[in-house]
């Protein structure tokens, strides 16, 4: 019996296949979907607005990612300064 997927799952799979930078075989394997099935979904939904739906979730995710980027940049700067300090100590 064929496995049934929700429309939301299909939209997410198409979005991932198109925008993730991964190959379609990788995406299909990661999601547990056959490659022909994923290709059919992409073909059927290629004209859909992939960002339709709850934009609030996208905005929350963007905000969370901006905070994470800021924190990682701060950590990188601290590590750069520490590397310079310890490089000077070993001479």
32: left (phi over 0), alpha (psi -120 to 50) or beta: left
Query: What pLDDT sits at residue 45?
Result: 81
CATH 1.10.8 is right for the domain spanning 1-53: no
Q: What is the C-alpha separation between 5 and 87, in angstroms, rounded?
A: 55
Res 50 pLDDT > 70: no
For the full predicted model, state whether its pTM sits above 0.85: no
How many residues can be counted in the chain? 91
Q: What is the C-alpha separation between 29 and 41, in angstroms, rounded?
A: 15
Res 46 pLDDT > 80: no
Q: What is the C-alpha separation between 61 and 19, in angstroms, rounded?
A: 16
Q: How confident is the model at residue 51 (pLDDT cuts 50, 70, 90)?
A: low
Res 53 pLDDT > 70: no
Query: What pLDDT sits at residue 72?
Result: 94
Please name the helix (run of DSSP H) or strand (run of DSSP E) that holds residue 28, with its range, or none.
helix 24-31
């Amino acid at each position: 019996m064929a496995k049934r997927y929700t429309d939301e799952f299909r939209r997410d799979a198409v979005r991932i296949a198109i925008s993730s930078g991964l190959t379609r075989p990788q995406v299909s394997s990661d999601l547990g979907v056959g490659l022909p099935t994923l290709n059919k979904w992409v073909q059927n939904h290629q004209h859909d607005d992939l960002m339709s739906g709850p934009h609030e979730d996208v905005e929350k995710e963007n905000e969370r990612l901006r905070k994470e980027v800021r924190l990682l940049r701060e950590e990188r700067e601290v590590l750069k300064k520490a590397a310079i300090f310890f490089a000077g100590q070993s001479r």
